[in-house]
Amino acid sequence: MATGFAATVTSQEVDTELAVFVPELWSDAVRASFKKNVVLASPGMDMSPLIASSGDIIRIPSVADVPAVVAKAPHVAFDYTSATEDAFTLTCTTHNVTGTMVADIGIIQSSADLLTRYADSIGYRLALGFDAQIETALALTTECIDIEPYNTVAKTIDTATLAHISKVVMENDCPMNECTLVLNPHLYASLFRIDSFIHVSKTGVANVANGFVGTVMGMNVLLSNNITSTNANAAVDSDDGALNNANLLGGFVIHNSALAYAFSQRPRVQAEYSIDHLAHKLVGDYIGGAVILQDASQTKIWGIVADDVTAW
């Protein structure tokens, strides 16, 4: 019969305090990084509380515009018209994941700088994945604004182009200060040609951050590297008729009521110690979805295209 003794185990893999501490500590850091790096969700509405208890589908009713006003005839009853309402389905079933394996987790978590770097990396990758998911939803709009006929330098945005974009948006009863202009790096950089928008004398701020654009025509301006889709089939120029298919999108104009997103599982980190590798395996993930809230009677999202341009 074999005999032996039970040693006191103090290694990280069975330290229950560390096993709980690591995921909680890292999840907070990853969520902060995720929130900082998500771009395309900024103009949207977070509907996660609607599925906080359970479920993965949110049905969002549209609100159709009521009929135009008419003159009221004396002693004649008002003629009611029933509006045809649509429902938008927001499905939160996309499960995106990333991770890494980190040796000597105790050393890393004792260093705020190292922990921040790893957490930033996980949060950044999750944010890129969610931005790509939102961009796919935004690209479903069949309404576009063709900037090619208006700019003096091809594939750029200038004052004439901005005037045209503003005209299209205002014609659709969307206040400019309720819209966000999201651009790819090529178009975003072209804004620096417009001195009247970015010059320090126009901002009223003494210390302007390098590369600061701020707002143009009342719209907030965002930069995204995740604009990669082509315009949808049968897409039309909201001002000038039909467009050729397969134009690479350069950006979007998004009204703040036109995009909804939700998480059935917000970004988190799961941690597991690997005795084989003497390291912690860290996996960050989220489950979410996005949908555009736009029907045939209400245009609130436009893709920015230059007709016949397939590369920026």
Q: Tell me the angle at which helices 16-37 and 112-138 cross, rounded to the nearest 10 degrees.
A: 50
Classify 88 as helix, strand or coil.
strand
What pLDDT score was predicted for residue 107? Answer: 61
CB 239 within 8 A of CB 145: yes
Question: What residue type is assigned to position 46 of the chain?
Answer: D
129 and 54 both lie in a single domain = yes
What pLDDT score was predicted for residue 3? Answer: 41
Q: For the sheet with 94-103, list strands across it.
A: 45-46, 259-274, 279-292, 94-103
What pLDDT score was predicted for residue 205? Answer: 60
What pLDDT score was predicted for residue 69? Answer: 81
> 269 or 44: which carries more pLDDT confidence?
44
- Residue owning tokens 């819209």: 179
Bridge partner residues of 279 (DSSP): 103, 274
Whether the full predicted model's pTM is greater than 0.85, yes or no, is no
CA–CA separation, 221 and 212 (whole Å)? 10
218 and 273 both lie in a single domain = no
What pLDDT score was predicted for residue 140? Answer: 93
Closest among 4, 304, 8, 3 to 164, alpha carbons compared: 304
What pLDDT score was predicted for residue 211? Answer: 59
Question: What residue type is assigned to position 274 of the chain?
Answer: S
What pLDDT score was predicted for residue 304? Answer: 96
Number of structural domains the chain divides into: 2
What pLDDT score was predicted for residue 152? Answer: 87
What pLDDT score was predicted for residue 109? Answer: 60
Q: Residue 112 is inside which H or E element, if any?
A: helix 112-138
What pLDDT score was predicted for residue 285? Answer: 94
Closest among 296, 293, 254 to 61, alpha carbons compared: 293
Q: Is the pLDDT of residue 149 over 80?
A: yes
Kindly report, residue by residue over 16-39, the tens digit of the pLDDT. Answer: 444 444 566 678 888 888 988 999
33 and 153 both lie in a single domain = no
Q: Is the pLDDT of residue 294 over 60?
A: yes
DSSP for 140-181, please give it: T--EEEE-TTT-SSTT---HHHHHHHHHHHHHTT--GGGEEE
112 and 216 both lie in a single domain = no
265 and 248 both lie in a single domain = no
47 and 89 both lie in a single domain = yes
CB 251 within 8 A of CB 184: yes
166 and 98 both lie in a single domain = no
CB 45 within 8 A of CB 259: yes
Q: Is the pLDDT of residue 125 over 90?
A: yes
27 and 133 both lie in a single domain = yes
CATH number of the domain where residue 26 is located: 3.30.2400.10
Please report, rounded to a whole number, the percentage of residues in the chain having pLDDT higher than 70: 79
Tell me whether residue 7 is in a domain.
no
Tell me whether residue 165 is in a domain.
yes
Kindly report, residue by residue over 183-209, the tens digit of the pLDDT. Answer: 999 999 999 888 767 655 555 665 656
Tell me whether residue 6 is in a domain.
no
CB 250 within 8 A of CB 210: no
Kindly report, residue by residue over 64-119, the tens digit of the pLDDT. Answer: 667 778 888 888 887 777 666 678 889 999 999 998 887 766 666 666 666 678 78
- 10-24, 26-40, 210-224, 239-253: least confidently modelled range: 10-24
CB 148 within 8 A of CB 165: no
31 and 54 both lie in a single domain = yes
Tell me whether residue 2 is in a domain.
no
210 and 268 both lie in a single domain = no
Mean pLDDT of the chain: 82
127 and 163 both lie in a single domain = no
267 and 299 both lie in a single domain = no
Tell me whether residue 3 is in a domain.
no
Mean pLDDT of 114-142: 90
CA–CA separation, 152 and 98 (whole Å)? 43
Q: Is the pLDDT of residue 213 over 60?
A: yes
CA–CA separation, 247 and 232 (whole Å)? 9
What pLDDT score was predicted for residue 83? Answer: 66
Expressed as residue numbers, the domain containing 83 is 12-66+73-137+261-292
Tell me whether residue 185 is in a domain.
yes
Q: Is the pLDDT of residue 13 over 60?
A: no
What pLDDT score was predicted for residue 124? Answer: 93
Tell me whether residue 193 is in a domain.
yes
Please report, rounded to a whole number, the percentage of residues in the chain having pLDDT higher than 90: 41
CA–CA separation, 273 and 275 (whole Å)? 6
What pLDDT score was predicted for residue 198? Answer: 64
What pLDDT score was predicted for residue 78? Answer: 79
